[in-house]
Structure 1
Amino acid sequence: MSEKILSVIIPSYNSKPYLDKCLGSLVVPELMDKIDVIVVNDGSTDGSESICEEYIEKYPDSYSLINKENGGHGSAINAGAEKARGRYMKVLDADDWFLTESIPEFIGKLENASADVVLTCHHTINITTGEIKNWRCFPDEFDREYTMEEVMSDWKKFDRSLTFHGITYRTQFYRENGVRLAEKVFYEDHEYATYPCCLAKTILPLDMFVYEYRIGDVSQSVSAQNQFKRIDHTKMVIVKMLKNREDISEQWALEYCDKKIHLLLLSFMVTSMLCDSDRKRGVARVDQLMSYIVKRDRHVVDMTLKHYKILKLLNAAHVGLEGYNKMLNSKLYNKVRHNKSFE
């Protein structure tokens, strides 16, 4: 029996409309002996596990199913990571899919890799507008290993792939250094992209698109409405990430943690200060969290103060999320920030 090279963990909760496309995107007949697909049925009530059972029947050594009580996205990743047989592991949400044509090259690269973290590019596909964006990294050289110091010294060349959708972990590295992800909350994918990535000794960027990320559905956790509805979940994940940080001592690992906490804190601030109809309540919510953080990680607060002041002005001017996003997407803003194009 061939060694499994890639384990794909698929958290699934009531995903019946999407699961067949997701699972089908992983079928590469000549490579099935190297692929390990683990569907974690997180207490679904729509019978979606029956779709997985069809794939298990066709490819019994490649597809498997874990049935468990509902515990949330993080709990499903925790369960899948324990069962992963591949040398590398990647999480794929059940309403997303892989670019099937990229899998042979991806598997080939992983077979010869030893890096703790492998980075790939991904697309976001807006199902409402049809817009497709390219999320990619821009290292000086692909197919060579970088240290975390090199990554943090040139953050914007790597940041768009240092995400849930861009990261592939060496399985043993993840098991030895990963954390138990937060359960029964949303947005723990930020925790997944931080721990244990911050501890990686070697990071390998590949110039290929693998993950197709479906967005634009108001029912998704990333929609503005749901982010505001679940704003306490974001706060809980930030608090847990701060707790995880306490066990880390390496300079560049701490720099990475602080950057990731800072970015999630920004998301929390934007949602609270620009989406809450009670403007004063939105600011007070942010102030309360900032007071908590400053006692534990002053650096994150210092990184965030300028953004806080700007968002407070926008809050007072009754600028909403739509206006804020227009500012972020303007050519002038991206030129000033030296941001790469999404083309």
Structure 2
Amino acid sequence: MSEKILSVIIPSYNSKPYLDKCLASLIVPDRMDQMDIIVVNDGSTDGSEAICQDYINRYPDSVSLINKENGGHGSAINAGSEAARGKYMKVLDADDWFNTESIPEFLDIISGASADVVLTCHHTINISTGEIKNWRCFPDEPGREYTMEEVMGNWKNFDRSLTFHGITYRTEFYREHGVKLAENVFYEDHEYATYPCCVAHTILPLGLFIYEYRIGDVSQSVSAENQLKRIDHTKMVIVKMLKNRVDITDQWALEYCDKKIHLLLLSFMVTSMLCDPDRKKGVARVDQLMGYIAKKDRHVVEMTMSHYKILKLLNAAHVGLEGYNRMLNSKLYNKLRHNKSFD
């Protein structure tokens, strides 16, 4: 039996319309002996596990199914990471898919790699508009290992791949740091992209596009409506990330943690201050959380204060999310921020 190189963990909850496409994208007939595909059925009620069983019948040594009570996306990743047999592990949501053509090269590279974290590129595919964006990193020397100090010193060269969709963990590294993601909450993927990535000694950026991320569906957790409805979930994840930070002592690990908490806090602020019809309530919600964070990690508040002031002005001017996004997507804004193109 060949060594398993890559474990792909697929959290699945009522994913029947998407799961077949997701699983089919992972099938590379002459490389299945190196693949470990784990579908974690998180208490589905739509019979989607039958789709997985068909793949198990065809590839019994490569595809497996874990049935568990519903505990949320994080609990499914927790269960899958415990069962993973691959040298590296990557999470793939059941309504997304992989770029099948890139899998053989990816397997070849990681089979000889030793980095704690491997970064790959991904696409976002907006099913409403048809827009496709390229999310990639821009290392000065592609294919060599970087330290966290180097990454933090050149943040915008790496940040678009330091995400849930871009990160692949060395399985033993992930387990060594005892990661247990928040359960029964949404948006714990921010936690996954922070811990244990922050303590990685070696980070290997690649130019391969692996993950295809489906967006633009109003039913998704990332839609503005659902983010506002679940704003307390975002707050819970921020609070847990602050608690996880306490035991970290390395300077660059702390810098990375603070950057990721800052970015999630910005998302919380945008949702609360620009999406809530009750504008005063939105600001009060942000002020309460900022006060809490100031007692735990003053640096994050300092990083966020200029954004807070701008968003408070936009809130007072009754600018909504659409207007804010137009500003972010403007050529002038991106030029001033020295942001990379999505082309």
Same fold (TM over 0.5): yes
CA distance in 2, matches of 1:151, 1:280: 38
- Give the partner amino acid of 2:258: D
The total of aligned residue pairs comes to: 343
Q: Which residue of 2 aligns with 1:342?
A: 342
For residue 325 of structure 1, what is the aligned residue in structure 2? 325
* Secondary structure, counterpart of 1:210 in structure 2: strand
Q: Residue in 2 aligned with 1:81? A: 81
Hey, what's the Cα distance between the residues in 2 that align with 1:208 and 1:78? 26
User: Aligned runs of 1:203-222 on 2, under 5 Å?
Assistant: 203-222=203-222
- The alpha carbon displacement at 1:177 in A equals 1.2
Corresponding position of 2:17: 17
Give 2:240's aligned residue.
240
Moved over 6 A (4+): none
AA aligned to 1:61 is D
In the other structure, the counterpart of 1:168 is 168
SS at match of 1:80: helix
Deviations 1:106-160, CA, capped at 9 Å, x for gaps? 0000011000000000000000000000000000011100000000000000000
Task: Report the equivalent of 1:191.
Answer: 191
Partner of 2:40: 40
Specify the SS of the correspondent of 1:247: coil
Give the Cα–Cα distance (whole angstroms) in 2 for the partners of residues 225 and 178 of structure 1: 34
Secondary structure in 2 aligned to 1:39? strand
Equivalent-residue separation in structure 2 for 1:72 and 1:171 (angstroms) = 21
- Contiguous gaps of at least 5 residues in structure 2: none
Q: What is the CA–CA distance in structure 1 between the aligned matches of 2:181 and 2:8, rounded to whole Å?
A: 17
Tell me the alpha carbon deviations over residues 272-329 of structure 1, each in whole angstroms, 9 at most, x when there is no partner.
0000111100000000000000000000000000000000000000000000000000
Residue 278 of structure 2 corresponds to 278
The aligned counterpart of 1:62 is: 62
Deviation at 1:89, TM superposition (A): 0.1
CA deviations over 1:67-121 (Å, ceiling 9, x no partner): 0000000000000000000000000000000000000000000011000000000
Q: CA offsets, 1:12-36, max 9 Å, x none?
A: 0000000000000000010000000
User: For the Cα contact (< 8 Å) 1:22–1:95, is it kept in 2?
Assistant: yes
Please say if residues 258 and 300 of structure 1, whose CA atoms lie closer than 8 Å, have aligned partners that are also in contact.
yes
- How far 1:178 sits from its partner (Å)? 4.2
Q: Tell me the SS of whatever aligns to 1:341.
A: coil
Distance 1:275 1:95 in 2: 26
Q: Which runs of 5+ in 1 are unaligned?
A: none
User: Which residue of structure 2 lines up, in the alignment, with residue 112 of structure 1?
Assistant: 112
8 Å contact 1:178–1:195 — kept in the other structure?
A: no
Letter in 2 for 1:291: G
Residues 245 and 257, structure 1, Cα contact 8 Å, conserved in 2? yes
2:41 alignment partner, SS class: strand
Q: Deviations over 1:192-232 (max 9, x none)?
A: 00000000000000111000000000000000000000000
Shift of 1:179: 1.9
SS in 2 for 1:36: strand
SS for the counterpart of 2:115 is: coil
Q: Distance in 1 between matches of 2:143 and 2:310?
A: 39
Cα separation, 2, equivalents of 1:140 and 1:178:
32
The corresponding residue for 1:265 is 265
Match of 2:137 in 1: 137
State the one-letter code of the partner of 1:216. Answer: G
CA distance in 2, matches of 1:92, 1:179: 18
Q: How big is the alpha-carbon RMSD for the aligned residues of Structure 1 and Structure 2?
A: 0.4
**3-state SS in 2 of match to 1:54:** helix
Work out the percentage of aligned pairs sharing the same amino acid: 84
Q: Aligned partners of 2:178 and 2:247: how far apart in 1? A: 12
Deviations 1:215-269 (A, max 9, x none): 0000000000000000000000000000000010000000000000000000000
